[in-house]
Structure formats: structure tokens, C-alpha cells
Chain A
Amino acid sequence: MNNGPVIFLGLFFSMAISWVAFVLGPQAQLAGLQPARTVAPVPAGYPNPRPGLAQQGELVYRASGCVYCHTEQVRPKELGSDLARGWGVRRSVAHDYIYDQIVLLGTQRLGPDLANAGLRMDAMAVLLRLWDPRTVNHLDAGHSIMPAYKYLFDVRKIGRAPSPEALVAAPNWAAPAGYEIVPRPAARALAAYVANLRQEAYLFEAPPPPGSPAANVLTTATNAPAGETNAPAGGTNGPAAGSGVPALPGGTNVSAPQTTNAAVK
């Protein structure tokens, strides 16, 4: 160990091994991923590129540091209670992210996982939480440690024509009388992004649980548009009745996602 060049070579090869394994290897395996054929052939190819507004929202998500409290990855059944908690219908896999420009999976959960936020909330529900998490999120009233993002909104006197984008009243929240709360473009983009987060298609590497209805009957219910799978705005946490239930493909434990859905923030 007294020879500089030898030490250098040793370091070089150690680094090279690590680099090949952790940088080059996954690159070779995953860089060419194409949209998958789904096991349940629901959205014919999966995933689909995010709409433009949601792509902009990805930038707001990054700039606001959302990743320091929220992950975007659902772990498999053996690791943690993510699935039992209703944070997803299956584990997250590499395919889910191929169209994302900025992939922030996160390593800290001070708030719930958001990989499937779009299955639980629509954009309006996201906006209400951004405006005031403590008041609006009645499941955690007064306790949520999520900061309010009021600077993403304008408080306006209602003029002759109320803004169609203004926040709608929630069960325990309403805008001050005579005023409306209008999200700024950044807020709308962020909400569009979060509401677009949904990893619902079953894939070869993330199949439906064996024996579940979804595994046998390739129902088209998973393709239901957002309006049907999600509870309506404002009442997002209410039990998703009717059409909401079959839309969740985790058929075997229909009741479990339902109860946890109510528990999920």
C-alpha cells in the first residue's frame, strides 16, 4: 500500500465496478423500455404521456420540494403496508415512470405516498389541500403538518362572473362570503400532475393478485375515467360508493381499500 499508482488502480476498479453495476447496468436494462402491453388490456398501451398541464406540474412539484415529505413508490406486499393501506393496487415498477421527465421517488414519508394520488383525489381535491390542509382535510382536522400553499392562490372578490376555476366548497370549508379562491397557474399545474398520478394498469411484472377477479376477468372497469373512479370533489374521502368500487381492480379485498381509503389523507 505504498505505491500511489497501485492504489489509484485499485480505486479506479472499485469505482468502475460500482459504476457499471449501479449506473450502466440499469441503463442497459431499462433505458429502452417501451409502453407495455397490459395484462388487463385496459389503457391499450401503458403508460401514456402525461397531459401538458401535468407535465408543467411536475416542475412545480420539484421546485416546491414535495419530495421531502412524499414518496411516489408503492412497495410490494411483503414490504410494509403500502398496498393494504390503499396507496395502490399493485407495487410500482419501472414501467410506471417511463414518460416522466423528473422522477422523484422520494425516501421520506412525512405525508402519504402519492404514486396513486390520482386514484384517490381529483384535481379540485388536491387544490383544496394545497389551499389549507388543516381545515379542508377533515380526517386530520387541525393536525396535518403539511404546509399551506396559499401563495399559489388569489383571493378575489366575486365579480359579475365567478371564476370557473375557483375552489368549490368542501364539507367543512367554504370560501369567505363574497370572495372566491382562484388557483394560480402553478397551482392548477401541480394539481393536474398529482391528480394524474395513477399506477393502475396490471403489467406482466406487476400482475393482479392471483385469484382476484381482475386476474381472471379482464374487466374494462380499470379504464374508467377519473370522474368515475374518484369520489366527487369536496367529498373525496367519503366512501367511494357505486362505480368507484369495481374500478379498483384489487378485487379480492374490495373492502380493505375502501376503509383505508377513508383513512388515507
Chain B
Amino acid sequence: MSVTAAPSPTPVAAAVSRTEREATGAVPILGLFAGAAVWLLLALLLALLCSLKLHDPAFLASGPMFTYGRVHAAAEAALLYGFGVPAALGVGLWLLCRLGRTRLAGPVVAAVGALGWNAAVAAGVWAILRGGGSGYEAFEMPGAVAPLLLLSYVLMGICGVLTFRQREAGALYPSQWFVFGALFWFAWIFSTAALLLLGSPARGVLQASVNWWYEHNLETVFFGLAGLAPIFYFVPKLTGRPLHSYDQAALAFWMLVLAGSWGGIPGGAPLPAWLVSVSLVGTVLTIIPIAAVAMNLYRTMAGARPAAEARACLRFTGAGLFFWVIAGAQQAAGALPPVGALTDFTLFTTAQRDLFRYGFVGMTMFGAIYYIAPRLAAAKSGAPDGLWKGWLTQWHFGLMLAGVAAGYVSLLAGGVWQGVELQNPAQAFAAVMRGSMMGLRLSLLEPWLLTLGLIAFLLNFALLLNGCRAGGRREKPGGPRPRKEGA
């Protein structure tokens, strides 16, 4: 494998045409980001409602629509399918264009796909609240909606693959492998789950194994690849350092798709013992890609002094990477039988999931969006970019970091306590639950803080789009801050 140049150096001659190239994909990609942000707001409000209901079960309990189980399912669906997948696709498509030095293939098709996807998510979340959810964790979308989701995904995915194919000749950068892998992975796991859970449901516990396999692959592999792609792009680019090692990146990539795709089965599940063991081995082996990525990127950015403009994006990206390492290490530790005996089915798992979803996926995606959105808006409207309000970005980051940390620490502490207490059978389950209420109460901070942070982002995003529109119309130069291009 040859060592390629640092990501996307910017020849002067290419600068103009890059703006043109990026303008092609601006509408679908910005649309994906806008939809993702709105869905995240909804997901957080639903998560907030869930938390409140754990403190006061009588809150909004008069009707079936807002009962805990349905709200929880709807929040999860809105987070994973409303926010996570579209944000990952938007970032991934942009990376394929940028790194392949090409236009987005089929922007209209991608836009149609994005619209269809969002419409399907809306229908799905509504159906879940009305009691039509599938009941499978992380795969709650009802059977009628899943085909539309898959179709919309395929439309966007085909654009991604075509963009990948029409790339300029030259070496592939790791982010391209990661995006390509993510695109492929989701199509396979989602269609498998749709077929074997909704289409013609598998028999008995096979539903559970398919469901766990799907969830594990969705998070560890799909979101893992989709989140690492921008990390591998932005860390070298914004610190101005070449990536430390391509070989380590390749090792991480292959280990993540090989070992990361084996897992998700809790120890002691009523499934064949060999399946539980294979799952355990795969989950523990994900330590290898985690270590490889962490070392590689640490060596890449250690000691770098990024420019002020780069810091906003880099802060989010760096935090996302940090949380990915923590969440992955926790997942591997929790898979070990002596640990899992304590922590399975407790808040320990919840802490890990939330850290992965908000801390890793959320942070990484926002880091990328902070970089990508102004450039796309500028490319489209012709106005200078860099129109983010810096103080809003800082508030977003601070609130999000505080929220993720508060939620993680309180749920983790509550989960470990719960696990240890439950080991003693003389300790009544109800009493243990009462005891872990403190952790649950403190974790209520998380959706609050994340919601506040997201409001800062939405405001910022609206100002950006508005500024660019106004700038494009009146040819008014200059946002508050000049743009800094390249590394």
C-alpha cells in the first residue's frame, strides 16, 4: 500500500473548480444536515420526556401515545434513523466528493433519496407513537416503512458509489475506505433485518439473534466507519500533519469490519453457546482497531497547534474520537463474562450506548458539519463562507460536552452500583432500582444540556443559511470572520 499525500492539498488552479464541484452536492447534503438536526431535536425532546417519566411515572400517563415504552422507541428511532444515518450519509457523500475531487453523482437522485428517507422516518416515528413499532431494539421502524427507508437509502447509496467510482485517479485515502464500507454495510444489515424481522420473521430466538447482530453492526461497524471517516480526514487536515500511518489505518479498518461485525449477543442469552462465544471473541477483538486508531491519530496530532478557525471543528472531532475509544473499551470490557455477569441489562449498557450515540456519533458529525456546511453554503450561493457565529459554536460544544459527560458518569456509576447490588439475591430488585434512581436523576441533565446545545447549533445553522442567501443575493462581501482555506 503506497503512502499518499496528505488529504486534499489544494492546488491554486483547482480552487475555483472545487467550489463548482461542491456546489453540485450542496442541496442534498445541506438538506440531509438540516433534517438530521431537526430530528435530533425531536429525539432529544422525546428522550427528555422519557427521563421525566422515570422520575414521575404519572407524568403524561393518561394516553397510550406517550407511555414510556413508545416514547423510548420513538426517541431511539428518531436518533438513529432521523439524525444518525442522514448525518453520516451527508458527511460521507461530501467526503467522497472532496477526496475524489469530483462532483456528487446524481444530486437530484440523492435529494429525492433524502426526502424519501425523512418522510419515511416521520411516518415511522408517528407509527411507533401510535403503537405500530416493530418492538425490536434499534430497529423499531414498522414493516410498512422499512422498504421505503431501504429504497431511499439505496438512492443515496448509489450516488455515493457512483461518486466513488468517478473519483480522480490516484491513491485512496482511508476516509474513502471507511465511507465506502459504511455505505455497503448498512444496505446489507438493514435489508437482512427487514427481511428476517419484518418481512418473514425468523423463528423464535432467531429474531433476537438477528436483532442483536443488526444493532451491533449498525453501531459498531456502520456508525463506527461513518464516524471514523471524518475523524481520519479532519484530524490530519486541520492540524496540518500528514496521517501518521496508513498501515495502522488499514489494520483498524479491516479489524473493525471483521471483528466488529461479530457481537451483540449478551452472555447467557438463550442461544447456542458457540454463538455467544463468537460474539464475545469478536467484541473483545475490537480492542485492536480501537488501539490502532487511537495511537495513529494521537501520533498524528500530538503537539500540533491548529489555527483558531480549525479549532471549532477539531474540538468536536477530537471529543468524538475520545468518546469512541471510551465507549469501545467499555463495550469490550462488558463482553467479558465476569464483567457482563454484573453489568448486563443494567444502566451500564445504557451509559455505553448513550456515550456512543451522543458522544461519538453526535460529536463527530457536528464537527464535520461545522466544517462542511459553510463551505457548501458558500459554494452554492457564491457568498464567502465561514459565517458561523463563533460564540454559538463554543456554547454548543460546551453544553454538549457537559451533557455527554454528566449523562455518562451518572449512568455508569448507577449501572455499576446496580450490577454489584443485584449480585446479592437477598437484595430485593425493587430496592436496588430505588437505589439507582440517583444515577437516573442525574442523567436527566444529559438531554437538557444536549437540547440547549442543539438550539445553539440550530440558531447558528439558520444564521448561516440566511447569511449566505442574503450574501448571494446582494453580493455583500464578508461574514464576521474571514475564511481560512486548507490546512
A interface residues with partner B (beta carbon < 8 Å)? 1-2, 4, 7-8, 10-12, 14-15, 17-19, 21-23, 25-27, 29-31, 33, 61-69, 71, 73, 75-76, 78-81, 84-86, 91-94, 96-112, 133-134, 137, 139-140, 143-152, 256, 259-260, 263-265
A146:B57 contact, CB within 8 angstroms = yes
Q: Which secondary structure dominates where chain B touches chain A?
A: helix
A-facing mask of B49-69, CB < 8 A → 1, else 0?
Answer: 000011101100111100111
Q: How far is the CA of A110 from the CA of B347 in the complex (A)?
A: 8
A94:B205 contact, CB within 8 angstroms = yes
Choice from A15, A64, A93, A264 contacting B270 with Cβ under 8 Å: A93
A94:B271 contact, CB within 8 angstroms = yes
B137:A107 contact, CB within 8 angstroms = yes
Choice from A22, A64, A104 contacting B209 with Cβ under 8 Å: A22
Q: How far is the CA of A265 from the CA of B428 in the complex (A)?
A: 8
> Top 5 A-B pairs ranked by shortest CB distance?
A65-B69, A75-B268, A62-B135, A263-B428, A18-B261
Q: Does B119 contact A (CB under 8 A)?
A: no
Nearest CB of chain B from residue A170's CB, rounded to whole Å = 16
B202:A27 contact, CB within 8 angstroms = yes
Nearest CB of chain B from residue A141's CB, rounded to whole Å = 10
* Chain A residues positioned under 8 Å from B201 (CB to CB): 101-102
Q: How far is the CA of A228 from the CA of B418 in the complex (A)?
A: 34
B268:A79 contact, CB within 8 angstroms = yes
A22:B262 contact, CB within 8 angstroms = yes
Q: Does B345 contact A (CB under 8 A)?
A: yes
User: B254's closest neighbor in chain A, by CB?
Assistant: A10
A98:B204 contact, CB within 8 angstroms = yes
Q: How far is the CA of A173 from the CA of B39 in the complex (A)?
A: 43
B433:A80 contact, CB within 8 angstroms = no
Q: Can you list 16 A-B contacts with CB-CB less than 8 angstroms, sorted by A residue number? A: A2-B171, A4-B164, A8-B180, A15-B257, A17-B261, A25-B275, A63-B133, A65-B133, A80-B342, A85-B422, A101-B201, A103-B206, A104-B136, A106-B137, A106-B345, A148-B58
Q: How far is the CA of A76 from the CA of B271 in the complex (A)?
A: 12
A62:B134 contact, CB within 8 angstroms = yes
Q: Does B278 contact A (CB under 8 A)?
A: yes
Q: Which of B103-111, B181-189, B308-316, B324-332 contacts A (4 or more CB under 8 A)?
A: B181-189
With A1-B177, A22-B209, A265-B430 as given contacts, are A64 and B131 in contact (CB-CB < 8 Å)? yes
B interface residues with partner A (beta carbon < 8 Å)? 1-2, 4, 53-55, 57-58, 61-64, 67-73, 131-137, 164-165, 171-172, 174, 177, 180-181, 184-185, 188, 192, 196, 201-210, 212-213, 217, 246, 250, 254, 257-258, 261-262, 266-272, 275, 278-279, 337, 340-342, 344-346, 349-350, 422-431, 433-434, 437
With A97-B270, A107-B345 as given contacts, are A67 and B206 in contact (CB-CB < 8 Å)? no
* Chain A residues positioned under 8 Å from B213 (CB to CB): 18, 22-23
B67:A65 contact, CB within 8 angstroms = yes
Q: How far is the CA of A76 from the CA of B69 in the complex (A)?
A: 27
With A69-B69, A75-B268 as given contacts, are A103 and B1 in contact (CB-CB < 8 Å)? no
Counting chain B CB atoms within 10 Å of each CB, the highest count among A68, A86, A149 belongs to: A68
B246:A1 contact, CB within 8 angstroms = yes
B131:A85 contact, CB within 8 angstroms = no
With A15-B188, A91-B270 as given contacts, are A147 and B67 in contact (CB-CB < 8 Å)? yes
Nearest CB of chain A from residue B469's CB, rounded to whole Å = 38
Nearest CB of chain A from residue B258's CB, rounded to whole Å = 5
8 additional A-B pairs beyond A79-B337, A259-B426, beta carbons within 8 Å, are: A7-B181, A11-B180, A18-B217, A71-B345, A81-B423, A98-B203, A107-B266, A110-B433
Nearest CB of chain A from residue B267's CB, rounded to whole Å = 5
Nearest CB of chain A from residue B177's CB, rounded to whole Å = 6
* Chain B residues positioned under 8 Å from A66 (CB to CB): 69
Nearest CB of chain A from residue B367's CB, rounded to whole Å = 25
User: B216's closest neighbor in chain A, by CB?
Assistant: A22
* Chain A residues positioned under 8 Å from B429 (CB to CB): 85, 112, 263-265
* Chain B residues positioned under 8 Å from A29 (CB to CB): 272
Q: How far is the CA of A98 from the CA of B204 in the complex (A)?
A: 4
Nearest CB of chain A from residue B130's CB, rounded to whole Å = 9
B430:A140 contact, CB within 8 angstroms = yes
B254:A100 contact, CB within 8 angstroms = no
Nearest CB of chain B from residue A239's CB, rounded to whole Å = 15
* Chain B residues positioned under 8 Å from A109 (CB to CB): 345-346
User: A30's closest neighbor in chain B, by CB?
Assistant: B206
B437:A145 contact, CB within 8 angstroms = yes
Choice from B180, B192, B203, B346 contacting A23 with Cβ under 8 Å: B192
User: A141's closest neighbor in chain B, by CB?
Assistant: B430
* Chain A residues positioned under 8 Å from B207 (CB to CB): 102-103
